[in-house]
Structure 1
Amino acid sequence: MQEGVDMRRMGCALVVLATLAGCGEQAPSSSPNQAGVAAEAGPVDDGKADCALGGSQEWAHDCVVERAGKMLTLRHPDGGFRRFHVLDDGRGLEAADGAEAAKLTILDDKQIEIVAGGDRYRLPAQIGAAGGQ
């Protein structure tokens, strides 16, 4: 049985979560000629995340992402939220509140998924090898 991703790929979590530092901030504007290229590049970091809340199978792009230092907050459209500590030890993150552990999965080289309880979030990320792997 495979749980999430293997430890070698999980070592990339630091690189992944480091890219979230800009979440919630306005991205620099690009020229109109670059708009098509950006659309093909993958998920856009617009300060929001795709989320499926309360065990729902339906995804919506309406959870707000906030990053303050080592704290990542994902705000739900109904006013609820989840907070996570960004870790420096290669595990990625852990739940900051409550008893439900967070599980981080690398979906591809442009996106990660975080699961905590019945809530799931997909965040844009740049995946890279940590430590030259």
Structure 2
Amino acid sequence: MMKVLGWIIMIPVVLFILLIVARIAFCGPDQSDVRVMKPMGDAIDKYLTTKGKPSSLDSIPNLPYKLKCSSEYKCSFSNGRKYYKIWIDDNPYSLSLKVFSPSSETGITYIYESSNSNYKLKNYRNNPHIYSSKRTGICNPMKQ
């Protein structure tokens, strides 16, 4: 009788632990995409913080990957295997640089505040925000 009771208690605990491990493994940012996106974001970040806002993203020299732009501040790039989006969102008080992988739903956001009207930018976060926007399957927050 005690063995059966032990199994009845143990099975839900083990399943709960497996669910937590699965969420950590499958719902977080894809590290292989972060390794591709971060050097690109860091190169543009360095340009923004030293020279200000460029006339367009593809005018920034020495980027790790070649950009294909649909407008001045909306571009994409590829590492040969995957496709990534990169863009700048701008408003009067702040600017954000976003790099995103549609296939893994992993993104990196750099946020800046403008220090004056010529957009000399100051990164007010020491590190960019790395995130995952997965919301399906076990990554759905309603399934917690």
TM-score, structure 2 length as denominator? Answer: 0.29
RCO higher in structure (CA 8 A, sep ≥6): 1
More strand as a share of residues:
1
Computing the radius of gyration over CA atoms, which structure comes out larger, 1 or 2? Answer: 2
Normalising by structure 1, report the TM-score: 0.30
Q: Which has the higher helix share?
A: 2
